[in-house]
Structure 1
Amino acid sequence: MKKENIQDMEKWYSEDVGEILSKLQVTPEEGLFEEDAKIRLSEFGANVLPQAKRKSALVRFISHFNDILVYVLIVAAIVTAVFGYYIDTAVILLVAFVNASIGFFQESKAERAIENIKKMLSPKAQVIREGVRLEIDASTLTIGDIVILSPGDKVPADLRLIRAENLKIEESALTGESLPTNKKPDMLSTDTMLGDRKNMAFSSTSVRSGKGLGVVVAVGQDTEIGKINQLLSEVEKATTPLIRQTAQFGKFVSTVIIVVSVFIFAFGYFFRDYEKADLLLSVIGLAIAAIPEGLTAILSIILAIGVQTMAKKNAIVRSLPSVETLGSVSVICSDKTGTLTKNEMTVQTVQTREQVFEVTGTGYSPEGAITIDGKTPVNFRENVVMDTLINCFNVCNDSALGKDKDRHWNVKGDPTEGALITLYQKAVLIEHKNFPRISTVPFDSEYKYMATLIEWENDKNIILIKGAPDRLMSIADKELTQKGEQPFDKQFWEDKINELANKGQRIIGAAYKLVPRTVKEIHHEDIYNEANSEGIVFLGLAGMIDPPREEAIEAIEVCAKAGITVKMITGDHVETAKTIGRQMGIENSDKALQGKDLDHMTEEEFVSAANEYNIFARTSPEHKLRIVHALQSKGKICAMTGDGVNDAPALKQADVGVAMGIKGTDVTKDAAEIVLADDNFATIVSAVKEGRRVYDNLKKSILFILPTNGAESFLIMASIIFSTVKPLTPVQILWVNMITSVTISLALAFEKAEPGVMNRPPRSPKTPLLDAYFIWRICFLSVFIGGGSLFMNVVLLGYGVSEQLVRTVTLQTIVLAQAFHLFNSRNIRGFAFNKDFFGNKYVFIVCFVMMFLQLSVTYIPFMNSTFGTVPLALGDWKYPFIFGIIVFIVVEIEKAVMRQIDKIKAAK
């Protein structure tokens, strides 16, 4: 058996199992011989997933120095060291090291997703080899091995089923299907989608009930879980808009710094009488002044504060830039099961011959009621049919309800049966009686029903039957009404089934058969056989659905106002998907595409469909990944939510991957940037609002920080051009930059969200970090603060004030001017003194801290020697304070003028 001989046999589900066994040269009775197994293991490889290659921690840390602005800092450090300014060198290198450390410790850990996929694989497998049942390491499984499946087993490889006895397999993490799949070995058509391949058992899924026998047709990377692993490893994570913008900004600033520094050095060398060493040191000061070295730190701090805020709202952020990216999201692609819905089956409708009943409450919690028309509670004493129907659902049931360690209601057993028990507990029955079972016929996929024998009244026993409506209708000859048993009206019930199905509900029926008290054991033949086809009385139907989360419906409405499109991508059936979409309020939910529709599209058609449609059903992991990629190709910033392994590749591809924290798999969580601790779709909307607030505050910080760099740069350039005394030393410049960036500007991170932040459309990823107005404000303030400081500098020197004292006053002037400008920056266009003036206490705290630091650098002796400052007399402080007040007034006048210009533009 050669590997190339089975390359054309990937659609195992569409071939007869006998032919497959023949091609694989194996029989179910004997299985593989050990010698053949060894040869095939060598040919096909071990049943494991490839080991992901990871960079060492040292390499990843060093990579964070790969930034052009850091290169400029390092060159500056080398030059200052050569000239013996070791304190300057140490401070410069410390700044570069701190910035790299912040980036390293906040690095995304998404590669752990691949490691967690491996943990999902079964460690052992029950096989038949040489006619003997053995337990072997699952890693040694190979093509052609015969595998035995029992309840509780993890499927160890992809199997084509040979036999299935009431076999149900939980596949929700892989396919998105909310209910366990009933398996049977019958051959399927070639276009059968992944979630409908009932003759296959997939690696890492779990056997819920029944038994099965299958032949291994794929191992390791060739399994469906292996393909997801491969998709994950191939996805190259795109950088966030903020990272792209800051990278472009860094290149622009570094180019300007180099060009201006060279020009100023040349000007000073050829046209001014400077010593080379002094001139070079001044130019280094210029370069350091222009570099916003504190910007990286403050951006990280603002993002980190956003992370803490989101954590309080149950959104755990694993990658700092994702906080800001959320603010620019224009599309949210969401899995249905467990994300938009609860992943808890709930009975919503009960249908008897005379009436339809509505059931309130969602999930497995027994809180809720059964009503008529949503208002009148059911009187079970007057409605014997309903009483009998609900008792049937409860008695003919093998599952149980309970609470987990977090006090959440859950079901032990089949979700459908759990929903029926919840229905029973919501009912105010005539009598909640425990009916002991005499005999049971378990559910069988061939017969499609379960039956239970119990004692009844009037010296009779009763067989209660629960199962697929079509099967029960095919054997029923009567139906129960309030007036008693009547002839069965098949057309009536078919119409009711269609009504419920069109609502996206899964339907289950109930019936009974009275038998003599002497009957103590039942079999399928006792329920229905050709010789005795009478006695089955149809009771009614229950329609259930995996209900939408109420808070998610409200969240989708908020998304619509915020210009965010919600798309539902699910492995569930198309009618169910459309119904849920309508209930959720997703736009254009009446039209949907299935995975098989997408398979026949060209790439251009696929991209168009991904942008046009909002409901996608019966999708595979690859479909989800391609949809996200198609949206991104049109410039959309895309968030993807999900909880299953099948969602992981798409989550990693998305600009922001959002995993469910309670029901999400470890694989999904590690592929995502954000984990929702409460599995609540509405939390995403809160996170989007927080992301928009964070971005607004980032812009305010930039508007605040850059004028400092501009003012210092202008100050030094002007001093060289006009041949004045060097106004600030390089180490003083670094002090000013770090004080304004890491202390004063930190207060802006706590500013509240702007009014109407969720009523504006998403920000385009092409929006520049600095728009025309920002450039104007930065240039205006740079010249105003830098020119004003230089003028004061020259005046004081003209009065014979010492150079050290003038530099100390200049340092204080620039810092205090920025402190007053902080209040201007709290609102980009609005008036500083508004109703929220005292709403951010941190503004006043950082101003106090700033003054403490400025007093320290002025009056503490070792700080004087380190930074070249001298103590100031009380009268010397009037210059910085008066200038700071002037800056505040001038900026407020400028903002008022701009508001008037905005009104004129709006009027036009």
Structure 2
Amino acid sequence: QHRTPLLVQMDKLGKSIFISILVMMAALFTFSLLFREMPLTELLLSLISLAVASVPEGLPAIISIILSLGVVTMARQHAIIRKLPTVETLGAMTVICSDKTGTLTMNEMTVKAVITADRIYRVEGDSYAPVGAMHPVDSQTPVSVVAGSLLERYLRTVDLCNDSQLMQDENGHWQVTGGPTEGALKVLATKMTLPPVASALLSKIPFDSQYKYMATHHLVGDEERILLTGAPDVLFRLCREQQTENGLQPFDQPYWESKIAEYAREGLRMVAAAWKPATAGQGALTHQDLEQGVIFLGISGMMDPPRPEAIAAIRDCRQAGIRVKMITGDHLQTAMSIGNMLGIGNAHQAITGRELENMDETQLSEAAQAYDIFARTSPEDKFRLVRALQSKQEIVGMTGDGVNDAPALKQADVGIAMGIKGTEVTKEAADMVLTDDNFATIASAVQKGRRVYDNLKKTILFIMPTNLAQGLLIIIALLAGNIIPLTPVLILWMNMATSATLSFGLAFEAGEANIMRRPPRNPRLHVMDRFAIWRVAFVGGMIALSAFVLEAWLQPRGHSAEFIRTVLLQTLVSAQWFYMINCRVANGFSLNKGLLANRGIWVVSAVLLLQLLIIYVPFMQTLFGTEALPLRYWAITLAIGLVMFLVVEVEKPLTRKWRTA
């Protein structure tokens, strides 16, 4: 169902080769009947040999197996690939759009500041341990919570309008169940030891990214209250008054916006709280109940520190020509501050979801490329951003965890779901699932995707010249009226046994030294580009010429056809083995320490031992039409392979400019 671009290209290549061979077979059949006195059965056998020799029968299966090996490798590194094309697409990805919380950051929020209408407080302590004092920003004297005070009402609100729980495990470590934002507020309330009071939950509106707040209807002591927590800008629109120590005052939005901007520059994420008196005995809480009478209480500024490994991964992505864009629901200044800590591109400027909503498709496409920080966004903004970037020919990866993120992940070239906090709907829509919810895993998957594609191309460049050489030998033999140099069974042995087996050695080759210091590949370029065609023609022609010269040298010396075929078979296998070593490194000398580290090459080299069985075991000699070879012919065939190895190594630097053009 999911055909990779590479497999589609190889299918087309195989069909092109097959059609070319049919035309060649028809031409050779006509030529041989008219100008060569060759028995019809021998002619048909020669043409069948040509067809078998020229078509890389095992290549599609080899490519699929190598892609599957790449999937297994990525799974060990916390990246579960759900769709095979993703392995290829990762290597071509040009943009990664990532959530902030938990992916780029530690997802361990701690309240560092509390802002009320009368006073601003700093909060001590880290992690989820409920340890640390609160003191005014202009004093080091810790405060205590007084019943009935503004601070008590604020802390009571964030404690009750909260779905998280704070627990201590058997080892004494504090943990939070529920969201990290709510968990940080629960820790804050626990630190301050609120005066005891009975409370009961009567009704609730759960948090949702669509409206960005949570509301509860509580009975607190003998008073019924509606409590709210959520995004400051959303609660701003609901409030007309603010709570102070001296009672209610008109809502002072400029004051709150200035404080948010001030503390957001420290990288603090802002969560607001508000309340309103509830009507005794009212029914289930609805959004309409919040349209009037809501009183603003204050704001918590919480820090979610960047992951150290994410900082390094973003740096690696930038070196690899991949732009990282952060998409978050946080305040603009908070997003820019965190982006600057992470080292994201142009973190000095950002754009909000509200601004994106007012743009047409052309303006959105320009903004999507111009900005790397997107604040106060919604899942719908994610979807539009993916399409806008794709309209600029970008290959886009998008992360997500909520149900509403599924359309954006489906639209992206690589949809990336969070394995820990992601919903099942999101995982089903994704191409890749991160089992550790860590951005560094994405960068690692990109590196491995590039490595898999590089090794696939090396494998193709390894297999194709042998097929060309076999075909040329048969064509030359037919044109010259000589015996068939290789029978169909020997050709099948080479294609399905030696070529296929040796190619797997390249699947385990380590990535090139510059794999993450080069731009993403263009997925529209064919794997058989100008250089690939040159390399196949150059190596295939060299192998065919060597075998033809060797055959011409052997024929006058009275050797049997079986002996000559055996020598030619061993020559081709030896050339294959040496050329496999050539293909290890695309741009440098192949005999390096990496050769010893690649155990796969040495395992598949055991195919040379199978040659001993074909050449020296009587039963196999009868089956394959071979004869035993004296030791000196092994030396001759290995020497030919070594010479071709050296020639290809000299060719590499001579064609480097052409290859990178």
TM-score range, shorter chain: 0.7 to 0.9
Q: Is residue 687 from structure 1 mapped to residue 460 from structure 2 by the alignment?
A: no
Q: 1:400 aligns with which of 147, 161, 165?
A: 165
Q: Does the C-alpha gap of structure 1 residues 279 and 598 become closer, same or farther in structure 2, counting only changes over 3 Å?
A: farther
Q: Does the C-alpha gap of structure 1 residues 608 and 383 become closer, same or farther in structure 2, counting only changes over 3 Å?
A: closer
Greater relative contact order (Cα < 8 A, sep 6+): 2
Q: Secondary structure at the match of 1:263?
A: helix
Q: Residue 592 of structure 1 aligns with which residue?
A: 351
Q: Is residue 676 from structure 1 mapped to residue 434 from structure 2 by the alignment?
A: yes
| Identity across the alignment (%) | 45
Q: Distance in 1 between matches of 2:383 and 2:332?
A: 19
> 5 Å matches for 1:683-762?
683-762=441-520
Q: Secondary structure at the match of 2:399?
A: strand
Q: Which runs of 5+ in 1 are unaligned?
A: 1-106, 109-238, 455-460, 480-487, 512-521, 526-537
Q: 1:666 aligns with which of 398, 419, 424?
A: 424
Q: 1:783 aligns with which of 541, 560, 573?
A: 541
Q: 2:245 aligns with which of 471, 474, 477?
A: 477
Q: Distance in 1 between matches of 2:523 and 2:168?
A: 45
Q: Distance in 1 between matches of 2:264 and 2:444?
A: 34
> 5 Å matches for 1:287-298?
287-298=51-62
Q: State the AA in 1 paired with 2:626.
A: T
CA contact 2:130–2:188 (8 Å) conserved in 1: no
> 5 Å matches for 1:137-152?
none
Q: 2:46 aligns with which of 282, 285, 305?
A: 282
Q: Residue 97 of structure 2 aligns with which residue?
A: 333
Q: Residue 69 of structure 2 aligns with which residue?
A: 305
CA contact 2:494–2:573 (8 Å) conserved in 1: yes
Task: State the Cα distance separating 1:292 from its structure 2 match.
Answer: 1.5
Q: State the AA in 2 paired with 1:737.
A: N
Q: Does the C-alpha gap of structure 1 residues 393 and 872 become closer, same or farther in structure 2, counting only changes over 3 Å?
A: farther
Q: Does the C-alpha gap of structure 1 residues 359 and 751 become closer, same or farther in structure 2, counting only changes over 3 Å?
A: farther
Q: Residue 197 of structure 2 aligns with which residue?
A: 437
Q: Does the C-alpha gap of structure 1 residues 403 and 604 become closer, same or farther in structure 2, counting only changes over 3 Å?
A: farther
Structure 1 residues 491-534: Cα deviation after superposition (integer angstroms, max 9, x where no partner): 977743553467673234699xxxxxxxxxx9999xxxxxxxxx
Q: Distance in 1 between matches of 2:16 and 2:510?
A: 31
CA RMSD of aligned residues (A): 4.5
Q: Is residue 850 from structure 1 mapped to residue 607 from structure 2 by the alignment?
A: yes
CA contact 1:640–1:651 (8 Å) conserved in 2: yes
Q: Secondary structure at the match of 2:590?
A: coil
Structure 1 residues 791-821: Cα deviation after superposition (integer angstroms, max 9, x where no partner): 2223223222121222122112101111112
Q: Does the C-alpha gap of structure 1 residues 626 and 472 become closer, same or farther in structure 2, counting only changes over 3 Å?
A: closer
Q: 1:496 aligns with which of 249, 253, 259?
A: 259
Q: State the AA in 1 paired with 2:33.
A: Y
Q: Residue 85 of structure 1 aligns with which residue?
A: none
Task: State the Cα distance separating 1:651 from its structure 2 match.
Answer: 2.3
Q: Distance in 1 between matches of 2:30 and 2:532?
A: 30
Q: State the AA in 2 paired with 1:850.
A: V
Q: Distance in 2 between matches of 1:262 and 1:622?
A: 59
Paired positions, count: 617
Q: Distance in 2 between matches of 1:725 and 1:559?
A: 57
Q: State the AA in 2 paired with 1:887.
A: M
Structure 1 residues 208-264: Cα deviation after superposition (integer angstroms, max 9, x where no partner): xxxxxxxxxxxxxxxxxxxxxxxxxxxxxxx64424433443344334333333333
| TM-score relative to the length of structure 1 | 0.59
Q: Is residue 883 from structure 1 mapped to residue 635 from structure 2 by the alignment?
A: no
Q: Does the C-alpha gap of structure 1 residues 577 and 243 become closer, same or farther in structure 2, counting only changes over 3 Å?
A: farther
Q: Secondary structure at the match of 1:720?
A: helix
Task: State the Cα distance separating 1:274 from its structure 2 match.
Answer: 2.0
Q: State the AA in 1 paired with 2:445.
A: A
Q: Which runs of 5+ in 2 are unaligned?
A: 206-212, 230-234, 281-295
Q: 2:143 aligns with which of 384, 392, 400?
A: 384
Q: Distance in 2 between matches of 1:658 and 1:671?
A: 9
Task: State the Cα distance separating 1:678 from its structure 2 match.
Answer: 0.7
Q: State the AA in 2 paired with 1:878.
A: A
Q: Is residue 542 from structure 1 mapped to residue 314 from structure 2 by the alignment?
A: no
Q: Does the C-alpha gap of structure 1 residues 358 and 850 become closer, same or farther in structure 2, counting only changes over 3 Å?
A: farther
Q: Residue 322 of structure 1 aligns with which residue?
A: 86
Q: Distance in 2 between matches of 1:649 and 1:543?
A: 31
Q: Is residue 840 from structure 1 mapped to residue 598 from structure 2 by the alignment?
A: yes
Q: Distance in 1 between matches of 2:534 and 2:130?
A: 61
> 5 Å matches for 1:243-262?
243-262=7-26
> 5 Å matches for 1:495-514?
495-497=258-260, 499-500=262-263, 505-508=269-272
Q: 2:37 aligns with which of 273, 277, 292?
A: 273
Q: Is residue 864 from structure 1 mapped to residue 621 from structure 2 by the alignment?
A: yes
CA contact 2:310–2:342 (8 Å) conserved in 1: yes
> 5 Å matches for 1:42-441?
108=2, 240-336=4-100, 339-340=103-104, 346-351=110-115, 357=122, 361=126, 365-366=128-129, 382-385=141-144, 397-398=159-160, 399-402=164-167, 409-412=175-178, 416-423=181-188, 436-438=196-198
CA contact 2:270–2:330 (8 Å) conserved in 1: no
Q: Does the C-alpha gap of structure 1 residues 598 and 465 become closer, same or farther in structure 2, counting only changes over 3 Å?
A: closer
Task: State the Cα distance separating 1:591 from its structure 2 match.
Answer: 3.3
Q: Distance in 1 between matches of 2:4 and 2:40?
A: 43
Q: Distance in 2 between matches of 1:711 and 1:387?
A: 90
CA contact 1:391–1:424 (8 Å) conserved in 2: no
Q: Distance in 2 between matches of 1:367 and 1:731?
A: 76
Q: State the AA in 2 paired with 1:411.
A: T
Q: State the AA in 2 paired with 1:253.
A: I
Q: Distance in 1 between matches of 2:419 and 2:218?
A: 38
Q: Distance in 2 between matches of 1:370 and 1:551?
A: 31
Q: Does the C-alpha gap of structure 1 residues 402 and 390 become closer, same or farther in structure 2, counting only changes over 3 Å?
A: farther
> 5 Å matches for 1:10-49?
none
Task: State the Cα distance separating 1:442 from its structure 2 match.
Answer: 7.3
Q: Is residue 644 from structure 1 mapped to residue 410 from structure 2 by the alignment?
A: no
Q: Residue 197 of structure 1 aligns with which residue?
A: none
Task: State the Cα distance separating 1:618 from its structure 2 match.
Answer: 6.3
Task: State the Cα distance separating 1:315 from its structure 2 match.
Answer: 0.5
Q: Is residue 813 from structure 1 mapped to residue 571 from structure 2 by the alignment?
A: yes
Q: State the AA in 2 paired with 1:284.
A: I
Q: Residue 206 of structure 1 aligns with which residue?
A: none
Q: Distance in 1 between matches of 2:80 and 2:561?
A: 52
Q: Distance in 1 between matches of 2:598 and 2:136?
A: 51
Q: Does the C-alpha gap of structure 1 residues 599 and 804 become closer, same or farther in structure 2, counting only changes over 3 Å?
A: farther
Q: Distance in 2 between matches of 1:302 and 1:577?
A: 40
Task: State the Cα distance separating 1:544 from its structure 2 match.
Answer: 3.0
Task: State the Cα distance separating 1:635 from its structure 2 match.
Answer: 2.6
Q: Distance in 1 between matches of 2:560 and 2:217?
A: 99
Structure 1 residues 122-141: Cα deviation after superposition (integer angstroms, max 9, x where no partner): xxxxxxxxxxxxxxxxxxxx
Q: State the AA in 1 paired with 2:242.
A: S
Structure 1 residues 515-562: Cα deviation after superposition (integer angstroms, max 9, x where no partner): xxxxxxx9999xxxxxxxxxxxx9975213666545334322322221
Q: Distance in 1 between matches of 2:473 and 2:379?
A: 58
Q: Secondary structure at the match of 2:417?
A: strand
Q: State the AA in 2 paired with 1:591.
A: A
